[in-house]
Amino acid sequence: MITLHGSAKSRASRSLLALEELGLSYRHVPLNPWSNPEHAEPLARLNPNARVPVLEDGDLVLFESMAINLYLGDRYGAAPLWPDDPKQRARLYQWSVWSQTEIDVRARHMARFSHDPDIKRRAEEERLAAVSILDPALADRAYLLGDTFTLADLNVASTLCEPWEDGRIDGELDPADHGLDALADWLGRCTSRPSWERVRALE
Ligand SMILES: N[C@@H](CCC(=O)N[C@@H](CS)C(=O)NCC(=O)O)C(=O)O
């Protein structure tokens, strides 16, 4: 039995999307210690960082949303979602790691909420520069690895835009407003998938 711990209104949404796209049956435990202090202790037993998501699959207990998604793809995935070709999987790893090191940057997220307008502006400029890399990468293709949606798209799109963020990066940035039309179209294709709708409905 697979169990995914973490409220869908958090980074756990990325791993819930992966479970949905893979068509796996799973138990969802919507832990959210930021609203429910009594969730902190059971979560800390699963993840010493006291963060969600955490996956349990048999005797495997795994934290970090990207590690969970790559494990799920490797263990349960099949082409086209999880490509057969090792070089295509290498690209999938590349974009997945990139999304964590260049996009999901904690210091930049915090700087965006700074009361200092210069710090806030710099963080927004850095975010725009980082996401702009995706526009040429998508100029000649519908999805990051080619013609079909793969876990690379899921990992990057779900890092840019959580299911409740209305198709905008961090809920506020529309790439089309910055001439990033290939990125805007791709993000729309990803976030309008039924899996996004299903995860949006979860607790
Ligand atoms: N890099 C981690 C980040 C996980 C993370 O920051 N989770 C937040 C929710 S989005 C959390 O659990 N915070 C705990 C708290 O606020 O008490 C991952 O991708 O899994």
Specify whether the CB–CB gap between 111 and 119 falls below 8 A: yes
Residue having the nearest C-alpha atom to atom 15 of ligand 1: 34
Residue having the nearest C-alpha atom to atom 20 of ligand 1: 64
Residue having the nearest C-alpha atom to atom 5 of ligand 1: 51
Query: Which pLDDT tens digit goes with each residue over 114-168?
Result: 999 999 999 999 999 999 999 999 999 999 999 999 999 999 999 999 999 999 9
The residue type at 176: A
Specify whether the CB–CB gap between 46 and 70 falls below 8 A: no
CA distance 52 to 65: 8
The residue type at 102: E
Q: Counting atoms of ligand 1 from 1, which one is nearest the CA of 51?
A: 12
Identify the residues whose C-beta falls under 6 Å from ligand 1.
Answer: 10-11, 33-34, 51-53, 64-65
Query: Which pLDDT tens digit goes with each residue over 51-76?
Result: 999 999 999 999 999 999 999 999 99
Ligand 1 center from residue 53 Cα (angstroms): 7
Q: Which domains does the chain have, with CATH numbers?
A: 2-77 (3.40.30.10), 86-193 (1.20.1050.10)
Specify whether the CB–CB gap between 74 and 57 falls below 8 A: no
Q: Please tell me whether residue 20 adopts helix, strand or coil conformation.
A: helix
Ligand 1 center from residue 101 Cα (angstroms): 15
